[in-house]
Amino acid sequence: MAEETHTPRVFSGIKPSGGLTLGNYLGAIKRFVATQGSAMETIYCVVDLHAITVWQDPADLTKATREVAAGYLASGLDPAKSILFNQSQVSGHAELAWIFNCVARLGWMNRMTQFKEKAGKNAEKQSLGLYAYPSLMAADILLYHATHVPVGEDQKQHVELTRDIAAKFNHDFKAGGFFPMPEPVIEGPATRVMNLRDGTKKMSKSGESDMERINMTDDADTIAKKFKKARTDPAPLPDAYDDLADRPEARNLVDIYAALNDMTPQAVIAEYAGAGWGQFKPALADLAVAKLAPISQEMERLMADPAEIDRVLAQGSERARAIAAPILDRTYDLVGMIRGA
Catalytic residue IDs: 118, 202, 205
Site residues for ligand TYM, 25-44, by CB under 6 A, read: 27-28
Using the contact rule CB under 6 A, the part of the chain among 191-199, 231-239, 258-266, 309-317 near ligand TYM is 191-199
For ligand TYM, the binding residue among 6, 81, 168, 192 (CB under 6 A) is: 192
For residue 82, the SS3 value is strand
Binders of ligand TYM in range 282-341 (CB under 6 A): none
SS3 of residue 104 by DSSP? coil
Residue 254: name the closest of 24, 246, 185, 267 by CA. Answer: 267
In 3-state terms, what secondary structure has residue 43? strand
| Backbone dihedral angles phi then psi of residue 149, each to the nearest 5 degrees | -130, 95
Binding track over 196-235 against ligand TYM, x by CB under 6 A: ------xxx-------------------------------
Dist CA 265 CA 273 (whole Å):
11
Q: Which residue is nearest to ligand TYM (CB)?
A: 27
From the CB of 93, what's the least distance to ligand TYM, in Å? Answer: 9
The site that binds ligand TYM (CB under 6 A) totals a number of residues, namely: 27
CA-to-CA distance for 274 and 276, rounded, in angstroms? 7
Check residue 15 for interaction with ligand TYM (CB under 6 A): yes
Span from 154-162, 225-233, 289-297, 300-308 in contact with ligand TYM (CB under 6 A): 154-162
Residue 50 found at the interface with ligand TYM (CB under 6 A):
yes
Q: Which residues contact 252 (CB under 8 A, 6 or more apart)?
A: 193, 194, 196, 199
Q: How far is the CB of 121 from ligand TYM (least distance, A)?
A: 21
Contact between 191 and ligand TYM (CB under 6 A)?
Answer: yes
Q: Which amino acid is at 64?
A: A
- Cβ 50 to ligand TYM, closest distance in Å? 5
Least Å distance, CB 162 to ligand TYM, is 8
70 binds ligand TYM (CB under 6 A): no
Q: What are phi and psi of 183, to 5 degrees?
A: -100, 130
Task: Select the residue interacting with ligand TYM from 83, 149, 165, 302 (CB under 6 A).
Answer: 149
Q: Across the chain, which distance is largest between two alpha carbons, in Å?
A: 72
Residues 6+ apart with CB under 8 A from 306: 66
Helix ranges (H only) for 203-276 are 220-229, 248-260, 265-272
Find the binder of ligand TYM among 9, 13, 72, 214 (CB under 6 A): 13
For the bound state, the minimum distance from the C-beta of residue 137 to ligand TYM, rounded and expressed in Å, comes to 4
The residue count for the chain: 341
Contact 15, 51 (CB under 8 A): yes
> C-beta of 276: minimal distance to ligand TYM in Å?
26
Residue (152 or 199) nearer to ligand TYM, CB: 152
CA 221 from chain center: how many Å?
A: 26
Q: Which is nearer to ligand TYM, 217 or 238 (CB)?
A: 217
What does each C-alpha distance from 234 to 190, 238, 247 come to in angstroms?
23, 12, 10
Contact of 323 with 94, CB cutoff 8 Å: no
Distance CA 85, CA 316 (A): 5
Is residue 151 a contact point for ligand TYM (CB under 6 A)?
A: yes
Nearest residue (CB) to ligand TYM, 183 versus 219: 183
Kindly list the residues in this chain that would bind ligand TYM in the complex (CB under 6 A).
Answer: 11-15, 23-24, 27-28, 47, 50, 137, 140-141, 149, 151-152, 154-155, 158, 190-193, 202-204
